[in-house]
Copies of this chain bind each other. A is one copy, B any other.
Amino acid sequence: MSATTPETPTKLQLLELLAAIGTAQWRDFAAAAAHHGLTSTQAKVLAQLNGPLPMRALATLLVCDASNVTGIVDRLEGRGLVRREADASDRRVKNVVATDEGRDVIRRVREEMQATHGALDTLGAEDSATLYALLARLRPGMEKDA
């Protein structure tokens, strides 16, 4: 234990801090999305659409019922941010693809998460790398389902 090592936090403190940061980032995201007339759920869906994605895949990613995705995509399609395309090899599936406008909007939403960007900017390269490495170690355990 070197002189510069901070006190070891309790697991509860760490949990609470992690929750606070998660909440803050989510609010930042929701605010940026709202700026473009999107709910946070709609923005989240848009954020997944790097390529065409079947409805089912979307439901799996969001960990929700397929029927829920129908409604969300309906609303996104209504605004012209997304398109349903027939799948070439399976006529049951509909691939969802972001329109040019959709891609543009989600790019701006990401850029406009000012609180998050600002906070991350206070970290130097070395601290960023350390944080990244620690979070990367946490991730697999967190995403495992009970």
**A residues whose Cβ falls under 8 Å from a Cβ of B:** 5-9, 11-15, 17-29, 31, 63, 110, 113-123, 125-146
Contact = CB atoms under 8 A, between A and B. Distances in A.
Contacts of A12: 110
Given A6-B129, A132-B9, A146-B31, A138 B119 contact: yes
B129 A11 contact: no
Contact of A138 (B7, B9, B13, B120): B120
Copies of this polypeptide in the complex: 2
A142 B18 contact: no
B119 A127 contact: no
B131 A134 contact: yes
B28 A142 contact: yes
Given A14-B132, A131-B131, A132-B9, A142 B122 contact: no
